[in-house]
Each structure stands twice: as C-alpha cells, then as structure tokens.
A and B are shown apart, each in its own frame.
Chain A
C-alpha cells in the first residue's frame, strides 16, 4: 500500500483505529462511531486527529466538525460505489474542509483523476511505491479538457470560451 500526495510517495504517519482498538499516541484516524461516542475525550487527547467515513456514512453528519480534522479518509469499498465523489465535493465546496482528503479502498488508476477533480488530494494505492506514483502521474496526463466546474480550480471549457468571447469583443 502506497500513499501518494502532491506528486510524491509519502510516508503515512497516520494510524487507522478500529472501534475497539487502543488509541495511538498521536495521528489517529478514528471511525465515525468513535467520534460520535468519544468526541470530547478525543479532542482532549489529540492535537492531530483524522476520521474515516464508510461509503454509507454521509459527511453531512460532520459538517460542523470538519475543522477538528487534519485528515478525512473516504472509503471506496468497490470502485463502482461512487458516493464518495459527492461526499468529497460537499466537504470541500460546502463544508469548507481544507485538510487532507484521502481516498482509500478500491482506488484504481482509471478513477484517481476523477477523485482529484472532486477534491481528493491523497490516495492510498494498492501497489509498490514506483508503480503507485506512475499510476498517479499517468492518470493526470490523459485529459486536459474539463466541462464541469468543481472546486479543483481547473479552467472549464465554458470559462475559456467566455474569455475568448471577451477578447473578441474587446478587439
């Protein structure tokens, strides 16, 4: 398993903690259940806290809490379960989440790019380091034209057309 972020393979400092497992000293990624049950204790204990949401756990329930987390991990149990694409956009574009948004689970070469467009910036890829990085880099190169405005800051076709129309009417 390799974690790719910002065009780099990075070391994963975080620990995913199951509901019954002991908590590490720092950098814990807890489940929604644990967060809801132990919220105050977790906040008292950790400076660095993350949360993982299953694909049937809607981030609406943590909409007010996002600033407490440095990592939010969203799970793709199978690549065909596309709920987390919407979750990612809601977290970024509506709830104002600025920390690491990590894709975990069935994260594959041909979906990674869509994930990035929806706001994911970290990817757990089930491959060795070099292979994982290549998958990420290759996936970035394939498409350069985007019709949909998302929160990713890429120029859309419409904005490019508008720019052209303005330039044309100015000249």
Chain B
C-alpha cells in the first residue's frame, strides 16, 4: 500500500500544527464558534447533537495494521472505546473532546493518516472498490489513481470553496462495487480499441433531494491526462455551479440544467488549454505510485485446498460463513474474506477497540498486513489463503466478527441518524437493529437471499438509500418520525434510482412493512434463484404496493 514520502508527511505534519493553532484560537475565545466552523470542517471536525465528532479519512478504504491499531488506541484513549465505519470508507469517532483533537491528529499523522477534507465544500476522500488488487475481473488496481487524485486534491488552492462537497470514486472492474455512478465524478478503468487502459468519466451522479445517475462525458480518457481533465471539470463547476441554493449546488444540478453535452463541451474547451500543462502525469510518477501497490508475495498454491474442503464439509457454521462472506480471488489458492460489522441486532459499522486490535493481528497473520473498509460499512481481508480460512474464521468468531451475513438482509446499511447527527429527521440505528432482529434467524436469511436495505435519517441520503434494493428514508411529519420506502434501486454497474412506493410508515409500522415486502417477494418469486431485485424488476411495484397499502 502507499507509503508517504517526506513531502507527503511534511504536509500532514504542517496541517496538524496549523489546526492546533486554530483550536488554540478557538479555546482562547479569539475565534467564535461561527468563525471556527469552516476551519474545523476542513479538518473533519463536526459539531453533532451531543459532542464533537472527528471523521478520519481512509484513502480508498485501504488500512495498514499499524493504522488499525492506532484507531484502536484513539478509540480507547480519547473516545468511548468505539469507532464507526462510514459509507465512504472512512472512520468516525463520536466522542472526542475538542482540546484533544490536535493530539489525535498528531497520533494519526504518525501512521500517515489525517482528517483533511473529510468535510466542507471541497474534494473529499476518493473511494474505490474494496476488492482492489484481489478481484479476478479487475483490469487494473484503481488505488494508485485514487492516490494520485488524493495528492492533487489535497489543499487544492482553487477548489477548497466549491459550491458544495465533491465526491469521486474509481473502479477497476467491470462489476462496479464502488458505486461510481452515484458520485460527482465516477471513473471506470476500461480499455480502448487499441487495448490501452484509460478511464471512462462520468459526472453528475448523486443522491440527496434530487437523485441522479452520472452521465458519461468522456468515453476514454488517456491515463496521463487524468488530472488535467479533472481540473477542467472542477474549474467549470467552480465557476458555473449554483451558489444561490444549497440544495441545487451539487454538480449534478449543473449537469442536469445545462445538459450533459453542453457540460462536456465546456469541459473540453477548458481542457484544451491545460491538457499539455504541468498537470500531465509523467510515466515516471505513475510508475512510482503504482509501485506502492504491487501485488503482495503470493505463494504458488494448488487450486484445491483439502484442509478447507474438509472443514466446509464438517463444520456447518463455517460452511455458512464461507458461502456468504468468502469471495473468489484472482490468485489461485487465495480468497477474499468479508468481515461483517453487522452482528444481528448490532449497530451497523461499529467496532470496538479490542476488535480493531484483534483484526490487525489477524491481518498481519493472514492477509499481508492490510485491511479494507467498504462503503457497506464492513471490512475485508483481501488476500487470505484458502488453507487459512478456517483458523481465521475461528479467531474472528472469538471476537464476534464472524457474522455470516454478507449481502444478506441483516447486512443493512444505516446512518448515525437522530442518535448523533444534527441534521437527522429520524432515528436510523434503532430501526436497523429492529429489522436485523426481526430477520436475524440464519435459515430465514438464507431463504430470503441477496438483498440490500439502506436507511438514511434524512434526505442527505448518506447511506444512498435511493439505490438500496429497499431504501428507507426518515422524514419528519408534524414532529413525528416517519419512514418512506423506495424499491428497486441499485448501485452497481446497472445503477438505478429506486421508486417511492407510497405513503410513509410510522416507527411502529415500518418493520412490519419491510416484512410485508419480503413475504410478498417470497410468495411471488419464480424460484429460489430469483433475488428480490430480479423479482421486483420482473413484476414491478404493483404487487408490493398492494400488499403494503390494500390492507390499510
């Protein structure tokens, strides 16, 4: 994985001291909370309902074991012993004291981490496929490109006060696990007719009040032009994005209002001027960054592991975990292990400091010292020998990290909601817990099969509920929490915005409503292989609508 050189380190160190000085000015009263606000936001410090929250960037979701141990230390020392993984592959600490935050940032800088640009109207952390470098269908590892973007976007002098926040995602595989189509810019690595690798560039995806799927404005961008093209997009957006209304300020509105073709024209016109500038990436730099992401020293292994096969045959619990959480790896004899942070009835994405330390040890032992975070609020050990899976699973289980529900109904995504978030209309976490408990029984989960439920506590849509197979949005109706349901969304390479199915449900009704949807699906599916989403696409919303509302 990427290691800072002295320049990278220096910038982060300088930034820590800069923020320490800003915090001192706040604590001494020289800065009002109002004046301090933009400064803390540039360093990922939010003021939540009960306390400050610190959001730490995990660039493209790759974490070293030293970094994971540092998270554990921070959770233990400055927080209540927990961290919380977010839907943008970052980690949040919900209870730090303001006076401690400069020290926390200092601790993070020692393991090459920071909180720069994890909030504010700037370019945020670039996310990537969590199976990068491990997936068999990958054309190229997207992470070196994310790192190149990270450096270019870090304290970009021109793009720090954009109309609104700006998010990018990169995938190197045709099957899109990074949800690139719902980002302000989505990059998909692809080949042109000559067989050269480059990027398909999508802009204007995003959710919130006006959900939209990104539009392709460049079918094939040569790699060396990546930064000049991004700079051209951002420059057009910075000048012409709307600033009169916060809800119309994302790039998707600009692209929508002037049309993708006009937008592409503007970008092209700007790009012509800067394409051959110092932004052009020299091959030497691409090589140098890519060298940080060379594959780990895989062993040459047989395709079949008898240890593994034997345990799958004899230990049912292990077999379930394998079936649900283990994925195929490009390297023969290896596998990808998904670590669920969704124990039945638990808080999605939460992890304790003991679990973090344990995972770091396991990653050192079994996965080349590297851990991934996912936008589904789970973790991944990307390179595990099949021979080792059983031992790994046993140890994970000892720390309550072996929940075998990856991709199943209890692997649901929920935002902090009204328990923490100052913007929330409704609670998300307790609802997630109730749904999880309702469907917790594993046989039932297996019967229901693959399905994704996403719960957002307000229209900011942090969990991307519009693209959940079942999306749940908390709304406020005369001071009461209500939940609106959307159906049929998806975030993959066939990304689609779900449709609102009808009137919302009260806190008391909503879990039953979800169950009604599930029962309806089970009754009408053609066979066990037909997933909820497939069935929905075949029959449409009508049967679901009837089931939900006709009885009312």
Chain A residues in the interface with B (C-beta under 8 A): 58, 79-83, 85-87, 89, 94, 110-111, 113-115, 117-118, 142-150, 156-162, 165
Contact = CB atoms under 8 A, between A and B. Distances in A.
Q: Give the 9 A-B residue pairs with the shortest CB-CB distance, closest first.
A: A82-B161, A149-B278, A117-B157, A145-B11, A114-B157, A157-B7, A85-B158, A142-B18, A147-B151
8 contacts: A82-B121, A82-B162, A85-B157, A89-B158, A143-B15, A145-B10, A158-B278, A159-B278
Given A144-B14, A147-B155, A150-B157, A160 B7 contact: yes
A86 B239 contact: yes
A148 to B, nearest CB: 5
B14 A145 contact: yes
Contacts of A148: 152, 156-158
Given A79-B38, A147-B154, 17 more contacts: A80-B161, A82-B159, A86-B235, A86-B239, A89-B158, A110-B39, A117-B157, A118-B157, A118-B158, A142-B17, A142-B21, A146-B155, A147-B152, A148-B152, A148-B156, A156-B278, A161-B285
B38 A110 contact: yes
A83 B288 CA distance: 34
The residue in A58, A83, A94, A115 that gathers the most chain B C-beta atoms within 10 A of its C-beta is: A83
Contacts, number: 97
Nearest to B162: A82
The residue in B11, B14, B158, B235 that gathers the most chain A C-beta atoms within 10 A of its C-beta is: B158
Interface residues of B, number: 37
A86 B285 CA distance: 26
Interface string B1-38: 00001011011001101100110000000000000001
B444 interface: no
Contacts of A147: 11, 151-152, 154-156
B161 A165 contact: no
Interface of B: 5, 7-8, 10-11, 14-15, 17-18, 21-22, 38-39, 121, 151-152, 154-162, 235, 238-239, 243, 273, 277-279, 282, 284-285, 288
A165 B10 CA distance: 19
A150 B243 contact: no
A89 B158 CA distance: 8
A114 B17 CA distance: 17
B18 A143 contact: yes
A148 B122 CA distance: 15
Contacts of A165: 284, 288
B14 A142 contact: yes
Nearest to A88: B158
Contacts of A161: 5, 7, 285, 288
A34 B239 CA distance: 23
Contact of B7 (A87, A111, A145): A145
A142 B25 CA distance: 15
The residue in A85, A87, A160 that gathers the most chain B C-beta atoms within 10 A of its C-beta is: A85
A143 B158 contact: no
A61 B22 CA distance: 39
B160 A114 contact: yes
Contacts of A115: 157
B238 A82 contact: yes
B121 A80 contact: yes
B270 to A, nearest CB: 9
